[in-house]
Amino acid sequence: MFFVYVLWSDKLKKRYVGFTSNLLKRLSQHNQGKSTFTKNGTPWALIYSEEFKTEPEARQREKFLKCGVGRKFLDSQLKNKDAGVSALG
């Protein structure tokens, strides 16, 4: 299985979108400063994830979530989640 995930840094007030085959291990790596792009934002919190059967599917979804339309989709999903609506599945 592969995961596309979104992390949030309160320190930077920014999101990070990535993909992995081991979500818990990857989150730990981000929080240990082992990722160049996220080392200055620790601690990172997992705020969204999706599961895929294949790596190409996960990579495609990651790419989508990093584009303008994908960012708007995430904004709406996270807004619904914050409002107590379970729109994430």
pLDDT tens, residue by residue, 4-58: 999 999 999 999 999 999 999 999 999 999 999 999 999 999 999 999 999 999 9
Residues sharing a CB contact under 8 Å with residue 71, sequence separation 6 or more, in sequence order: 65
Is 51 a member of any domain? yes
Looking at the domain assignment, is residue 88 inside a domain? no
Give the Cβ contact number of residue 72 at 10 Å. 10
Where does the pLDDT of residue 88 fall: very low under 50, low under 70, confident under 90, or very high at 90 and above? very low
Q: What is the CATH number of the domain that holds 16?
A: 3.40.1440.10
pTM tops 0.85, yes or no: yes
The CA distances from residue 12 to 41, 45, 49, in Å, are 6, 12, 20
* Structural domain range at position 8: 2-82
Within a domain: 29: yes
In a domain, 7, yes or no: yes
Q: For the chain, what is the domain count? A: 1
